Structure 1
């Protein structure tokens, strides 16, 4: 081990030369820094920074003031996969450059038990070779190495299962994918989010957009689930899908006077959805029109939830045969879609 040296973010060669901008990432030469810049600039972004928290792990904060509807960052996935299967993952990881492999393993403690990134890559390559040959040795002499490879395998699959973000299929009939991101996958959940991310097929990136004004130093939050669910349903989905109980102000009932009208608005909208019946489409549509006004007046009028409400209103007006109203709400869906994707 070379004391005081770190692997180059691009080629892996040990060096003491840090990026002059962020002073956190090392590059052995200017060429490696230039080649790595398309990915490194996202981590080196002056608009966000990642901070270690003793209770929440690595979390993302705004380093500058961000206006509502502004793009915070746009990030390419480190890797993307349609299914979380380790055999396929071996090949994907084996092809990753050193910079992306380091970023991948930053999501898990692969170093416990003495497994370094270089050793992990070696194990991944060996597992890929064994997979191609159809061999899975279990001889006693190789037991330690097999156990080590198994630990790496568990880390890799665990990373994908707990940290990836869905990528919408590019066309009907195609399978949805999941992507792993250096920054976006570190953003914590809140049922009162201040940002949303959406996939931009034209950029092949996920774009993070502020849905309310964010002050420098504020933590950035997104919602991992639909914000319209009631508390019990939200907690159930978070527990089953993400293995945690949400302690945000909305779930804990700690909104206070400032946000009490927001909580009331959420409960009102939840009640409208709960009582909406296909047999009464016009009543459902009119209820959603009222909900849109409630949301706008309550301070939770984000492009994301307004798009959803208008889309549902459009559907119910269509079911009720109200063509003019249906067309109006369709136009509103398109307008809010443009805001969400940053057009």
Structure 2
């Protein structure tokens, strides 16, 4: 069998760091289809949203949310009481979260337990309403203020025209599909985040969780926030990917950011019914062409590096190009994967000093994304202490490669 570096890499702990070839979606791409029904509970809950404005505007965290960090910055928040972000109205986006003080790279800004979780097989309007019935009235109201990408006055057939409708609390424009889900399901489908888990037989599967505050992160094609599921805490963790200034919006990504601008725009319109206004998508045509070229090249390099198991020198050259392009595009959340590939190339040829340098860099990048206690970070730290423990060590003739660029 050919030695393939990527085969033995630790399982990624985050959607943000997974391989683009799998094209993972941040949220469910299509609504669960069920027979249209009238449900009095649905009508009552939707009406209840008009009773008051969401409490999130006054208190930036819910009972299911905590903003914390294992290494707080006393200069950024001397009293240790100011939340790292606040919910505000953002022009052309609806609601969004902006930083309240300088936030350093890797800081945990939100650890939020889900309001409720559903399996993909149980995603029906009735199931959402049953789950909501167990929550408080305030939480129910907050749920119904979230965006609904399938908002519309009534279901339509293919020949009818959509009727424009908008909500000041909505971060996406109206979207009507031929089989529009009822409001509760539409909101859940728009905002639910994937939660990795296993079935009764231990096989991996994905559940879907609703996060009242985590849903307020808007999309950017150059996100400054990564999210990972913390299985121990049973909560979604949101960490800053790079240093953020006060007043800067905090954004995650809803779609694969390695697609071209046209591909991303089409996916966002189809799944979330809005046009992206981030700096990358709003750039000039010439700048957009260059960005598309770099991102497409990164995507190809993901595949090419994985085929260089017998050619570590070539693989190292390719991944260094990818790391340079990632830096130019500001997509730091893919860095750890390439750095671990470099580590594996080094252990293949018993280049232990450079292997240690690369796995340390992979560990640092992973800590910024998923924290030092994540499974990937612990694995990287183990290999940093003992690179020879990796199963690929010495499978190819001894050779000195190169370490990370300064």
Instruction: Give the TM bin, normalised by the shorter chain.
Output: 0.5 to 0.7
**Which secondary structure state, in structure 1, belongs to the residue aligned with residue 110 of structure 2?**
strand
Match of 1:107 in 2: 146
Q: Write 1 or 2 for the structure with the bigger share of helix.
A: 1
| Residue 321 of structure 2, aligned match among 282, 290, 296 | 290
TM-score (ref. length: structure 1): 0.64
Structure 2: gaps (5+ residues): 1-47, 68-80, 154-180, 373-406
Tell me the CA shift for residue 256 of structure 1: 9.9
Preserved contact between residue 249 and residue 255 of structure 1 (Cα < 8 Å): no
Match of 1:95 in 2: 134
CA deviations over 1:9-31 (Å, ceiling 9, x no partner) = xxx9xxx9xx9xx9936xxxxxx
Preserved contact between residue 193 and residue 221 of structure 1 (Cα < 8 Å): yes
Tell me the CA shift for residue 331 of structure 1: 6.2
Match of 1:192 in 2: 222
| Residue 272 of structure 1, aligned match among 301, 310, 314 | 301
Structure 1: gaps (5+ residues): 1-11, 26-35, 114-152
CA shift in 2, pair 1:260/1:323, >3 Å = farther
Aligned-partner Cα distance in 1 for 2:184–2:227: 24
Question: Is the aligned partner of 1:67 residue 2:104?
Answer: yes
**Which secondary structure state, in structure 2, belongs to the residue aligned with residue 234 of structure 1?**
helix
Aligned-partner Cα distance in 2 for 1:108–1:230: 25
Tell me the CA shift for residue 86 of structure 1: 2.5
Aligned pair count? 274
CA shift in 2, pair 1:281/1:237, >3 Å = farther
CA shift in 2, pair 1:342/1:273, >3 Å = closer
Greater CA radius of gyration, 1 or 2? 1
CA deviations over 1:275-327 (Å, ceiling 9, x no partner) = 6684886345531133224545x47362x211232355568x49x96576897
Aligned-partner Cα distance in 2 for 1:23–1:103: 10
Preserved contact between residue 69 and residue 212 of structure 1 (Cα < 8 Å): yes
Q: Report the aligned-residue RMSD.
A: 4.3
Match of 1:306 in 2: 335
Preserved contact between residue 170 and residue 201 of structure 1 (Cα < 8 Å): no
Which structure's relative contact order is higher, taking Cα pairs within 8 Å and 6+ residues apart? 2
